[in-house]
Amino acid sequence: MARNILVVGELSGGQPTPTTLELLSGAVGLAAGGTISVTLLGAGATAAAAACAGAGTAYASDDAGYDTFRAEQWLPAIGAALDQANADLVMIPQSTAGRELGPRLSHRRNTAVAMDCTNIVDEGGTLKVSRPAYGGNAMATYSFASSPAMATVRAKSFDLVAGAGPSNTVALPAAGDSRTNVTGHEQVVAEGLQIQDAAIVVAGGRGLGAPEGFQLVEALAAAIGSERAAVGSSRAAVDLGWYPPSQQVGLTGKVVTPDVYIAIAISGASQHLAGCSGSNAIVAVNRDAEANIFNFAKYGIVGDYKVIVPALIEAFKK
């Protein structure tokens, strides 16, 4: 079934974000002969649109007034693009902006939005989305009874595919007035490989017993390779001041989808699993054989991390 798809894009450093490009790749498999469009707002948007592989049309505005996200400015522009694209499906990144745009845009269009999706498929002409439920302990599948369908989608839900950029660019209006006054920005940047981009995430929890326990967690990540592995933390360890908030994984932290997630001394609370349940494989190390994390782990090691982790480090060094 052919369908028209609009991807709400985001810019970072003057380029489309990786999630924007991933959603466009996902749209290629869902359009089935329909049109694919993308919106880009902010300085350099028109030039950045050339990198949006898969899109036939880019709706863009180079107005720097869009550089700082304000929903009341973005919504009219996206609405204008939606009208022109005649979209059956709107795909939005599950980002800070996307979490606000999805509900507000769906309310304006009197339709439904599925939040925090990890997959969108076409089953016999019917769109179905999957998303974590019950704090990541289950996956729920939904279909849409209204149009256009809207979904916010997690990063790394679709593999990138090569393709040509837009052949047509349509100018969107400049940013309007806003009642929101942004007084400044403070960006917290972790050193080295970011946990959202790592193929392997090694995470530590409160079960480490002390902040010094993260020295072993970091040593394991280093043994795996700094170009592949990054260190994460549970909220409990962050709240105790053992590790920086920028590395927190979970419902109130970051959502990661690595190839391998190594959970060391993490019990597996639903709030934490919500941030790592999309991993291809979870490896759990915990001295408590009844820890909930083992219910979700592909591989589990029961024992003292102070004994197990050094052995893993030596194995990776070989």
Residue 17's pLDDT is 95
Return the number of other C-beta atoms located less than 10 Å from residue 183's C-beta: 4
Residues in the chain: 318
Q: How confident is the model at residue 192 (pLDDT cuts 50, 70, 90)?
A: confident
Q: Omega of the bond prior to 132 within 30 degrees of 0, cis?
A: no
Same fold, 5-171 and 200-317: yes
269-317 residue pLDDT tens: 988 998 898 899 999 999 999 999 999 999 999 999 999 999 999 999 8
Give residue 247's pLDDT. Answer: 95
pLDDT for the residue numbered 181: 87
pLDDT of residue 270: 85
CATH of 200-317 among 3.20.20.140, 3.40.50.300, 3.40.50.1220, 1.10.357.10? 3.40.50.1220
Express each pLDDT in 78-127 by its tens digit.
999 999 999 999 999 999 999 999 999 999 999 999 999 989 999 999 99
* Domain boundaries of the chain, sorted by first residue: 5-171, 200-317
Rounded Cα distance between 5 and 28, Å, is: 9
Q: 5-171 — its CATH code?
A: 3.40.50.620
Residue 156: band (very low, low, confident or very high) from pLDDT cuts 50, 70, 90 = confident
**Is it the case that residue 232 has pLDDT exceeding 90?**
yes
